[in-house]
Amino acid sequence: MLAAAKSPLQAETDRILARFVEAGAALVETEALQPAETLLDLYGEDIRARAYVTNDPLRGELMLRPDFTVPVVQMHMRGGADVARYTYSGPVWRKQEAGGDRKSEYLQTGYEVFGGSDPAKADAEVFSVLSGALQGVSVQPVIGDISLIFAAIDALDTNARRKAALRRHVWRPARFRRLLERYSSPQAASGERKNLLLAAKSGNVEKLVNKAGKTIGIRSVDDIIERADVLLSEAETAVISDNDVKMISRILDLECTMETAAEKLREVAPALDSTAERLAVRADALAAQGVDISELRFVAAYGRTTLEYYDGFVFGFHADDPRLPQVAQGGRYDAMTRVLGDGKPVSAVGGIIRPETLLALKEGTA
């Protein structure tokens, strides 16, 4: 009988999977073809620039999975146990930038923890399980926390509408910055805008609309009147203070060790006391797992542009060579479970290792 030798990559992937199973995870599989609609709803049109889209005459638009998280969350929400750990391994597909040398098909081996009542402990578990699987290679871990910016928005002295607009653009730092500027030092309105505000004040927006031409499309005259009223109340809303703007910048600029993160956050933003407390509890949980938190880097803005759906704890393991993709990454995504689970969120945190990158580092071929 022929015994096929395992390829080094297969052996590496199996080794990681075995560790994840040993940590308590059940091995699961997902389909490579996913309904495009779910991913479009979550990520918007931008996902088309990243994921491969294909068409089925019966099932409609489909995407080659750009990650495992969405199908694993869906599977769990359909009837997983209250507390569950999953592991999986397989290829994902992502279009890469023109001219780059990153692969558009690569392996991900993941570990996800759902449920439970101690989120800090689950965060620390995922971090240390992945960290353990990376033993023997030189990688730099970084910790971040997306919930800091959400907490900072909450703490702003402004109305709910402005907070919602800022929250919507947390993932688009340039527009976020522009919005904050507009709310703190508004530009003079154009002539056209002044007319609209006057019309809104005197209840004459409909006249203005009729003068502009024939009403077409689904967006109704009422919608336009409603937005004109919003613009009017916006123009009359007090500016966000310089102090508040500076607080946001100081929070986003925060870089220190995990050990000092809570204390530093309290220094720059005393209002974020409960967020700082969560950082402290997480630091303790990491230390309890044997992680040296006095050496662990904390970067407040980490993962704000690249790790699309995380909304709390985030982490990454980087190779010494900055040109290489991250060896591993992960984070907390409670909000996504709420979207995919019909409004009932569960605690969810997980991460993936890229076995190809890890193997290349081990073999010194990276």
DSSP string of 263-290, one letter each residue: HHHHHH-GGGHHHHHHHHHHHHHHHHTT
Residues 6+ apart with CB under 8 A from 315: 127, 141, 142, 143, 144, 329, 330, 331, 351
User: Which residue lies nearer to other proteins by CB, 100 or 322?
Assistant: 100
Asked if residue 178 binds other proteins (CB under 8 A), the reply is yes
Residue 173 contacts residue 305 (beta carbons within 8 Å): yes
User: Which residue lies nearer to other proteins by CB, 136 or 213?
Assistant: 213
Asked if residue 215 binds other proteins (CB under 8 A), the reply is yes
Least gap, CB of 211 to other proteins (angstroms): 8
User: Which residue lies nearer to other proteins by CB, 118 or 223?
Assistant: 223
Pattern 17-56, other proteins, x by CB under 8 A? -----------------------x---xxx-xx-------
286 vs 74: CA distance, rounded Å: 28
Question: How large is the angle between the packed helices 273-288 and 119-133, nearest 10 degrees?
Answer: 40
What are the backbone dihedrals phi and psi of residue 217, each rounded to the nearest 5 degrees, phi first? Answer: 90, 175
62 vs 60: CA distance, rounded Å: 6
List 4, 5, 216, 238, residue binding other proteins (CB under 8 A): 216
Residue 95 contacts residue 52 (beta carbons within 8 Å): yes
Asked if residue 213 binds other proteins (CB under 8 A), the reply is yes
The residue type found at 221 is: V
# binding residues, other proteins (CB under 8 A): 39
Least gap, CB of 218 to other proteins (angstroms): 6
Asked if residue 198 binds other proteins (CB under 8 A), the reply is no
User: Which residue lies nearer to other proteins by CB, 126 or 197?
Assistant: 197
List 121, 172, 297, 318, residue binding other proteins (CB under 8 A): 172
Asked if residue 190 binds other proteins (CB under 8 A), the reply is yes
Beta strands in 177-336 (DSSP E): 255-257, 297-299, 313-319, 328-332
Asked if residue 209 binds other proteins (CB under 8 A), the reply is yes
344 vs 76: CA distance, rounded Å: 12
Least gap, CB of 293 to other proteins (angstroms): 35
Q: Residue numbers of the site for other proteins (CB under 8 A)?
A: 40, 44-46, 48-49, 98-99, 165, 168-169, 172, 174-175, 178, 182, 190, 192-193, 196, 205, 208-210, 212-219, 221, 223-224, 226-228, 231
